[in-house]
Structure 1
Amino acid sequence: MSSASSTPPWDVHRLPRAEGRVFLVTGGNAGIGYFISEQLSATGATVVLGSRDAARAEAAVTSIRTRVPGAQVHAVRLDLAELSSLRTAVESLEMHRLDAVVHNAGVALDDPPRRETRDGHELMFGTNHLGHFARTGRLMPLLSAAPAARIVTVGSFAAKSERLDLDDLQSRRDYRPKRTYGRSKLAQMYFGLELDRRLRALGSTVASVVVHPGGALDCLTPSRPPVHVRTAGARLRAAPAALLVQGKHAGAWPAVRAVLDPAVRGGQLWGPRQFSLRGTPRQEAVWSHLADTAVAARLWDASRDLTGVDPDTPRG
């Protein structure tokens, strides 16, 4: 029997069981991160929500436990905008291995002025990319201790039309919030693909996968009070948009599949099936600009210099 005929099709509503495995989701207290956490919790795995806001994290934990009886879920404090705190955050996990980390947390600013992290980095680039870059380095011993761990980086469809300015990664000369956000997510995606190339070169059992949620709107997202409440009016007003995009519960599907599906491989890009904007998750071709390994290598070197961490260097 061929592997194609013996493997059941992926069903976003009937996920494989994952008892005994441990998953960390950054930004798991809200938005797409919340639904990634809720869906992974339903598999029987232990799910850890990384969040800088303790109250919102506990609200998310309570919501998941209400909807998923017996869910093994808890929260840890994690502030990706403060690089010096990441070592302590890893120690607070109090675990010996990690089967997957989902790099989902992010900051999106709509208006000027330009803002910086405590380390002096532009806020979106520093949080969305540099924070996850450094966090990966701190987590690598735990990931390497698992049989076949995965690092899943959640990018954005907004990154498809952007290009990195390697001479202005911090947007000091050209700060436009939406462009800077798109470039920060693009940097994340470059990192996820470059990380997998480096892990393969080291012979590591850890795989790095990149995903994006397509178009995911709050107004199409089912209510999860108090984490998210959708009014009837918002639902009616959003009805036309549902032809093209989807809610954040569906935006979580590519990341959840990247964590759980044994057919997913490192170095792949996954997104929604229909026009890369909505629908069930599928593998898609790596965007042409993301395939530029020279840009990825230069970004890696700059990120290492800015954070003082090198994710592909074994750590004790």
Structure 2
Amino acid sequence: MPPTSSTPPWDVHRPPRAEGRVFLVTGGNAGIGYFIAEQLSATGATVVLGCRDPARAAAALTSIRTQVPGADVRAVRLDLADLASISDAAEALEVPALDAVVLNAGVALDAPPRRETADGHELMFGTNHLGHFALTGRLMPLLSAARAARVVTVGSFAAKSERLDPDDLQSRRDYRAKRTYGRSKLAQMYFGLELDRRLRAHGSPVRSLVAHPGGALDSLTPPRPPVHDRSVGALLRAAPAALLVQGKHAGAWPAVRAVLDPAAYGGQLWGPRRFGLRGAPRPEETWSQLADTAVAARLWEASRRATGVDPDPAQGPRGR
């Protein structure tokens, strides 16, 4: 089996250089996605932010260029809740090859009512999972054109206590906002691992990995105005929590390592070192529910039917 760590030891503050490579980060305008984009930009790579809101994308680009002088960063409009917009976003990249996509963007609702996407899918499942499923299918030709591309799916520690119900993926019978969010992120993680199995079976050079940020709080996150601001009071109130969790800048580390570490390999799950909640990134044991390949296969088929796209390299991105 390939090694699980690079040599020299991984330094979250000095990841390897990546000039000449192109990375797409969905939801790169805010939260963990912003810090993934900022940290990848510091490697010399070209980083593209996939964002729904042009104004928020512009603010993120300004902040990254302030933090990383000379950063090669731009944005494309991407609305994962609208399947018709996803092909346009893939075409807007205007690159011959894509070295990595970080499937990070997501929506989280805290309370009812149940809401739906433009295509009639439950909003969190439709955005967090189905949108990324369709986007990956559309990007597969660009990923396959790169020398050794990676798909990095950003899940959530909130998914660890959840189980998928393949007969109610859209939460029509059992809608509880926080549970539905956790299940949507779990579906993403199932997808990332199943994608790697299918890539291996097809002999593709593309690798698919999964990462999660652990516990990441705004109040422990360094300010990046106007993208993110933090008062001294908020930091002081959150200081005791820093024993267990971390800021969103640190929550970005597992995904960044999954993109860049030459020793990382397909099918891995990356998370924070300490209790899966904070610290430097490391590979984790796959969560027990994620080893259920029968559920993964049912999810894949349901997702293919719902989106009209199939990211399986043996099939090609077909459909609308």
Q: Please, what TM-score do these two structures have when normalized by structure 1?
A: 0.98
Query: How far did residue 315 of structure 1 move?
Result: 4.5
**Structure 1 residues 5 and 39: alpha-carbon distance in aligned structure 2, compared to 1, 3 A threshold:** closer
- SS of residue paired to 1:283: strand
- 2:275 maps to 275
Query: How far did residue 15 of structure 1 move?
Result: 1.0
Query: How far did residue 7 of structure 1 move?
Result: 1.6
Give the whole-Å Cα distance in 2 for the aligned partners of 1:55 and 1:289: 39
- 1:188 maps to 188
- 2:143 maps to 143
**Structure 1 residues 70 and 6: alpha-carbon distance in aligned structure 2, compared to 1, 3 A threshold:** closer
| Aligned residue type for 2:66 | T
- 1:23 maps to 23
Query: How far did residue 89 of structure 1 move?
Result: 1.0
Give the whole-Å Cα distance in 1 for the aligned partners of 2:87 and 2:222: 35
- SS of residue paired to 1:227: coil
Q: How many residue pairs align between the two structures? A: 314
Give the whole-Å Cα distance in 1 for the aligned partners of 2:17 and 2:11: 13
**Structure 1 residues 170 and 217: alpha-carbon distance in aligned structure 2, compared to 1, 3 A threshold:** same
| Aligned residue type for 1:247 | G
- 1:229 maps to 229
Deviations 1:133-176 (A, max 9, x none): 00000000000000000000000001100000111110011100
RMSD after superposition: 1.3
Give the whole-Å Cα distance in 2 for the aligned partners of 1:304 and 1:15: 36
Give the whole-Å Cα distance in 2 for the aligned partners of 1:315 and 1:269: 25
- 1:173 maps to 173
- 1:39 maps to 39
- 1:13 maps to 13
Give the whole-Å Cα distance in 2 for the aligned partners of 1:7 and 1:224: 32
Q: Does 1:314 align with 2:308?
A: no
| Aligned residue type for 1:67 | Q
Q: Does 1:260 align with 2:260?
A: yes
- 1:299 maps to 299
- SS of residue paired to 2:160: helix
Deviations 1:66-119 (A, max 9, x none): 110110000100000000111111111111100000000000000110000000
Give the whole-Å Cα distance in 2 for the aligned partners of 1:151 and 1:46: 16
- SS of residue paired to 2:49: strand
The gaps in structure 2 that reach 5 residues or longer are: none
Give the whole-Å Cα distance in 2 for the aligned partners of 1:296 and 1:5: 27
Give the whole-Å Cα distance in 1 for the aligned partners of 2:95 and 2:6: 35
Deviations 1:173-209 (A, max 9, x none): 1100000000000000000000000000000000000
Deviations 1:249-270 (A, max 9, x none): 0000000000000100000000
- SS of residue paired to 2:47: strand
Query: How far did residue 32 of structure 1 move?
Result: 0.1
- SS of residue paired to 1:161: coil
Give the whole-Å Cα distance in 2 for the aligned partners of 1:97 and 1:245: 37
| Aligned residue type for 1:184 | S
Query: How far did residue 314 of structure 1 move?
Result: 2.6
**Are the equivalent residues in 1 in contact too, given 2:6–2:261 (CA < 8 A)?**
no
The gaps in structure 1 that reach 5 residues or longer are: none
- 1:104 maps to 104
Give the whole-Å Cα distance in 1 for the aligned partners of 2:247 and 2:57: 21
| Aligned residue type for 1:71 | A
- 1:74 maps to 74
Give the whole-Å Cα distance in 2 for the aligned partners of 1:168 and 1:315: 25
| Aligned residue type for 2:298 | R
Give the whole-Å Cα distance in 1 for the aligned partners of 2:30 and 2:4: 36
Give the whole-Å Cα distance in 1 for the aligned partners of 2:166 and 2:316: 27
Deviations 1:15-49 (A, max 9, x none): 11000000000000000000000000000000000
Q: For residues 91-130 of structure 1, what are the structure 2 equivalents within 5 Å?
A: 91-130=91-130
Deviations 1:201-243 (A, max 9, x none): 0000000000000000000000000000000010000001000
Q: Does 1:86 align with 2:99?
A: no
- SS of residue paired to 1:129: helix
Give the whole-Å Cα distance in 2 for the aligned partners of 1:280 and 1:4: 14
- 1:134 maps to 134
| Aligned residue type for 2:279 | G
Q: Please, what TM-score do these two structures have when normalized by structure 2?
A: 0.97
**Structure 1 residues 67 and 172: alpha-carbon distance in aligned structure 2, compared to 1, 3 A threshold:** same
Give the whole-Å Cα distance in 1 for the aligned partners of 2:23 and 2:237: 36
Query: How far did residue 4 of structure 1 move?
Result: 9.6
Give the whole-Å Cα distance in 1 for the aligned partners of 2:220 and 2:4: 34
What percentage of aligned pairs have identical amino acids?
82
